[in-house]
Amino acid sequence: MIDWSVIATSLPDFLAGLKVTLLLLVISLSTGLLLSVPLAVARVSSNPLLSKPVWLYTYVIRGTPLLVQLFIIYYGFAQIDLIRNSSAWPLFREAWFCAWLAFSINTTAYTTEIIAGALRATPAGEVEAAKSLGMTTFDLYRRILLPGAFRRALPQYSNEAVGMMHATAIASTVTLVDLTRVARDVYANHLATVEAFGTVAVFYFVLTFSLIGLFRLAERHWLKHLRAQVAAPSTLVAK
Amino acid sequence: MLHGYLPAILGGLMTSLQVAACSLAIACVFGLIGAAAKLSSSRAAHAVVDVYTTLIRGIPELALMLMVFYGGQTILNYLVTEAGGDYVEVPAFAAGVLTIGFVFGAYMTETFRGAILAIPKGQMEAATAIGMSRSQVLARVTIPQMIRHAIPGFTNNWLIMIKATALVSIIGLDDMMQRAGLAASATREPLTFYLAVAAIYLLITTVSILLLSRVEKRFSLGVRKAELQ
């Protein structure tokens, strides 16, 4: 029933698609992580001038579909003369750039909330102890708040990373030839449903569980001190 | 407003909401069956549900949707031609709703399972001890409390699901995104229409959060919250 020759001939295309998917994931996640740390610090700030704009940003981004955000950037921005006439216009005509921008803006919003939640969960005693030792606010964040928050955020962040990996499939709607686009092309060329979508499912499956495995290793390393308590059936929690 | 395309967009909104409502119903059914299977003592049922939830977590919704749409097409036509019928097309609505329902059924499974486990066992035992039948225990003790524990997870799943409905335009469903795309190319104003769609989605998620937090309050009457510090 399965035509293996179709899979064999299209395997190079799938591997090229895998490369696009992985590259999209890596550049979006790293941009997101970089931006979300300062944003999370602003988000938990007691100064409303800092925290409110970040709240608005995460609320709007998390309240709208990624597909819409991508279309606004890829199709919509062409309508703004300021962008059309600017020197950045060649970038906005590039699907790669738009996908990276949309995905980064999206994952930054989710990651900011994850890190902000982890910052808020810091035990009050840790902050008091640090202050009583005379730490400056900068040192307090660098030595106490952020290292602890990163650890606490890790399990949730692994869900975000997997979610983002799945979301890269949306890039296939703006001409990028990622894994999903390759599957659609293979289907269109050979009318081979099982071969096209079965293969792509295997690729995504392996990718997802490799990613989860990597995060497990990271958790084992950085959450070592909690291992005794992790024995509860927490592995069953979906996103 | 919107160059006269507002009614068209709102018509698309109706389709999007129908997709969301039907998907939600399917997801809840799958979720309840999944949770019941996971809590049962049957090892075969456990295995089936584990495969289900693992598969869903491993593959993007969009890829699954394309698989159901095109794959369903192949299977359906194979069956129909075998039976001597003519070529048929899988309705995009059915493919979209089934896929989204199936995907979020897996997430609902974990939500409902967790919610049932969160009820202290002694309550069910006490209800049985004072002579309630199994269905009475379910209706009076388990379900009312399960709803309370399930609402946060349910809200989360619903918010992700309503956003996932934007994907059905990709398999050709005449939803809000599709209509916005048509209006955008007709007027050459893509930004206007996609921003309008974004605003409508934001409105839906905002209303959902407000409503569901009220429901949560209603079901949490009589539960004291731990006071921090």
A48: containing domain: 4-236
ipTM of the complex: 0.88
Residue of B2, B56, B67 to mutate, interface with A, max A Cβ within 10 Å: B67
pLDDT in tens, B81-116: 888 877 777 788 988 899 999 999 999 999 999 999
Q: What residues 57-86 of chain B have any CB closer than 8 A to a CB of chain A?
A: 57-63, 66-67, 70-71, 73-74
CB contact under 8 A, A209 and B58: yes
Q: What's the whole-number average pLDDT of chain B?
A: 90
CATH number of the domain at A165, please: 1.10.3720.10
Give me the mean pLDDT over the B121-148 stretch. 90
Give me the mean pLDDT over the B140-147 stretch. 88
Q: Which residue of A has its CA nearest to B161?
A: A65
CATH number of the domain at B209, please: 1.10.3720.10
pLDDT at B139 exceeding the cut of 80:
yes
B2 touches chain A (CB under 8 A): no
- Phi and psi at residue B185, to the nearest 5°: -75, -25
Band (A212; pLDDT cuts 50, 70, 90): very high
Query: pTM of this prediction?
Result: 0.89
The fraction of chain B above a pLDDT of 70, given in percent, is 97
Give me the mean pLDDT over the B31-54 stretch. 92
pLDDT at B229: 47
C-alpha distances in angstroms, B195 versus A46, B177, B221? 32, 11, 39
B29 touches chain A (CB under 8 A): no
CA distance B106 to B101: 9
B70 or B193, higher pLDDT = B193
Residue B68 lies in a domain: yes
- Overall domain count for chain A: 1
B55 touches chain A (CB under 8 A): yes
Amino acid at residue number B116: I
pLDDT at A84 exceeding the cut of 90:
no
Please give, one letter per residue, the 3-state secondary structure of chain B.
Answer: CHHHCHHHHHHHHHHHHHHHHHHHHHHHHHHHHHHHHHHCCCHHHHHHHHHHHHHHHHCCHHHHHHHHHHHHHHHHHHHHHHCCCCCCCCCHHHHHHHHHHHHHHHHHHHHHHHHHHCCCHHHHHHHHHCCCCHHHHHHHHHHHHHHHHHHHHHHHHHHHHHHHHHHHHHHCCCCHHHHHHHHHHHHCCHHHHHHHHHHHHHHHHHHHHHHHHHHHHHHCCCCCCCCCC
CA distance A43 to A45: 6
Residue B138 lies in a domain: yes
pLDDT at A228: 57
B174 touches chain A (CB under 8 A): no
pLDDT at A235 exceeding the cut of 50:
no
Q: Which two tokens mark B33?
A: 């069956």
pLDDT at B20 exceeding the cut of 80:
yes
Q: Is the dihedral of CA A41, A208, A102, A26 positive or negative?
A: positive
Q: Which two tokens mark B227?
A: 């006071």
* CA neighbours closer than 13 Å in the CB half-sphere of residue B2: 19
B159: containing domain: 2-219
The fraction of chain B above a pLDDT of 90, given in percent, is 61
CB contact under 8 A, A197 and B71: yes
CA A190 to chain B, closest CA, distance in angstroms equals 12
CB contact under 8 A, A238 and B53: yes
Size of interface A-B (CB pairs under 8 A): 127
Residue B127 lies in a domain: yes
- Cβ atoms of B161 and B20 closer than 8 Å: yes
pLDDT at B228: 56
CB contact under 8 A, B205 and A63: yes
B1 or B79, higher pLDDT = B79
Q: Which residue of B has its CA nearest to A234?
A: B114
pLDDT at A239 exceeding the cut of 60:
no
- Overall domain count for chain B: 1
Residue B224 lies in a domain: no
Q: What residues 118-157 of chain B have any CB closer than 8 A to a CB of chain A?
A: none
Residue B226 lies in a domain: no
- Cβ atoms of B177 and B197 closer than 8 Å: yes
